Amino acid sequence: MTADGLGGTIARYDARGRTVFVLECIVTKFGGSSLASDEQFRKVRSILELEPTRLYLIPSAPGKRFPTDEKVTDLLYDCHALAAEGKPFDDLFVKIRERYLSIAQHLHLEVDIEGALDEVHRGIAGGKSRDWCASRGEYLCGLLVADYLGWRFVDAAEGIRFHDDGTLDDEKTQELLSGLLKDRKPSVVPGFYGSRANGEVVTFSRGGSDITGALVARAVGADVYENWTDVSGFLMADPRIIDGPAEISSITYKELRELSHMGASVLHEDAMFPVHRVGIPTNIRNTNKPYHPGTLISKNAPNEVSVPTITGIAGHQGYSVINVEKNMMNSEVGFGRKVLSILEEYGISFEHMPTGIDSMCVVVKSELLASHREEILEKLEKLVDGSGSVTVSDNLSIIATVGRGMVHNCGTAARLFSAMSRARINVRMIDQGSSELSIIVGVNDSDFEATIRAIYHEFVG
C-alpha cells in the first residue's frame, strides 16, 4: 500500500486502533480543543505512545473546554486591544494565566511557565504587536507540551519565515524548517506564527496552526500529516441539514477544495497546498476517539476497492445573478472581458459564468455586490449601450455535489436532476466543470435545504 507520490506507506489501523503498516515519520497537529486542559494533554500523550513514529507535534493554543468557555487566542487579542487603548487588561490576563498554570500544576511540569507568562504580560503592556501577542498562545502551549513529553522545543519564529508584506516566504521556510528538523528528533513546533527576517513575529490568519503543521510535514518529508481535532473527519453533508450524515473516509485534495470553497470546513484552506504539492496525505483525526480512522485526504485516493459516486455535498446561500443581454454579443470579441473588468474594478470575484449566444450571467456573492450595486449596473448599462438589457436577480443558492466517482458513472446528472424534480425544486442555474468533479446547481434560497436533502437521499439513502 503506497502513499500518493511518495512510495511510503499509508496508516491503516486494526480494530483496536493499532497501526498495521508502520510509518517512518508522522507529523501531528493538535487543535485548541485537543489541548484545552490537563485531561486533554493526557489524551495527546497516549495517542503519541500508540505510534512511536509520531515524531513532530504542532500545538494550537488552548481552546474551549466547554461551549461557553473562552479560547486563549481570543483572550490574547482582547488583552492587546485593551492595552493599545491604554486600558487595564489584568482581569483578562488572569484567565490566561490560570489556564496555563492549571495545566502545568496538574501535570507536575517543571518548565518556568510563570516566568514565561510574566514575559508575555510585560510584552503586552509594553506595546508589542498584535501578532506577537496572539502568537504567545501557541508559544506558551508549546513550552508546556514539550516539557510534558520530554521533547525538544523549536520556536516557530526560527523556522517559519514571512516576507516584509506579511505573506509566507515559502522557499525560505522550507529551507529553515528542514535544516532545524532534519535530525528527526521528536520536537514540538508551536503553530500559527513565524517571523520576518528582522525577527518580528507574524501570524497566519485564524486557524493557521493547520498551515504550520503542513509546512513541517513537507519539510521533514513526512509519510502522513495527522491533523487531530474534535471531529472524526469530514461529513458528506452539513449535519444541521441532514440528520447524521455519513462520514467521508477518503477524499482527494481537489474534491476537498471544492467542498471547502462551498463551506465545508475542518481544515484551514491554505493548509492543503504545501502537502498536496509533494504528495503527503493528510489524515483528519479525533483526539477524543483516537481509534477512529477519520478522513484521509490524498492526491488520488489510491487503493480504493470501490469509489462512491459522490463524495460530499456543500452549498451557500445569498448569491446574485447579473444577467447581461446584448444583440450580437456572440460576435463581439472582448465583450466578456469588459463585463468582468467592471467587476474587477470593484474587487468583486465571480463564482460562475454561464453564457448563451447573446447573453451572459455572472454569479456573485450578494454581499460583495451590495456596496456598489448601482454604480456597477450603470456601467454595465453603458456597455450594452441601448441594444440589450442588464438585470439582477437575488436570493440564489449554489450547491455543489462533488465526487471523483462521477467520471466513471453514467447518469449521475440524470439522477440528481430527477431527485430535484421529484422534490419539486426549480433549477435556476447548472454548471458542470469539464473535470467532472462536481455538478453545481443554483436554486432559490428557499429551496436550499430541500435541494441538499433531495441529492443526499438520492445518492446516499
What does the binding site for ligand ASP look like in residue numbers (CB under 6 A)? 32, 60-61, 71, 73, 137, 191-192, 206-210
What's the distance, Cα to Cα, between the start and end of the chain in Å?
A: 31
- Nearest approach in angstroms of CB 162 to ligand ASP is 15
- Nearest approach in angstroms of CB 29 to ligand ASP is 8
Nearer to ligand ASP, 71 or 299 (CB): 71
Nearer to ligand ASP, 77 or 291 (CB): 77
**Neighbour-count burial for 382-416, b at 16+ CB within 10 Å, e otherwise:** ebbeeebebebeebbbbbbbbbbbbeeeeebbebb
- Nearest approach in angstroms of CB 266 to ligand ASP is 12
* CA–CA gap between residue 331 and residue 113 (Å, rounded): 71
Which residue bears the cell 477524543? 288
Nearer to ligand ASP, 129 or 317 (CB): 129
Q: Evaluate whether 193 touches 156 at the Cβ level (below 8 Å).
A: yes
**Neighbour-count burial for 149-168, b at 16+ CB within 10 Å, e otherwise:** bebebbbbbebbbbeeeeeb
Nearer to ligand ASP, 131 or 258 (CB): 131
- Nearest approach in angstroms of CB 345 to ligand ASP is 33
Nearer to ligand ASP, 73 or 252 (CB): 73
- Nearest approach in angstroms of CB 197 to ligand ASP is 23
C-alpha cell belonging to residue 17:
486502533
C-alpha cell belonging to residue 408:
466513471
- Nearest approach in angstroms of CB 100 to ligand ASP is 14
How many alpha carbons fall within 13 Å on the CB side of residue 31? Answer: 22
Q: Evaluate whether 262 touches 315 at the Cβ level (below 8 Å).
A: yes
Nearer to ligand ASP, 61 or 364 (CB): 61
Q: Evaluate whether 190 touches 156 at the Cβ level (below 8 Å).
A: yes
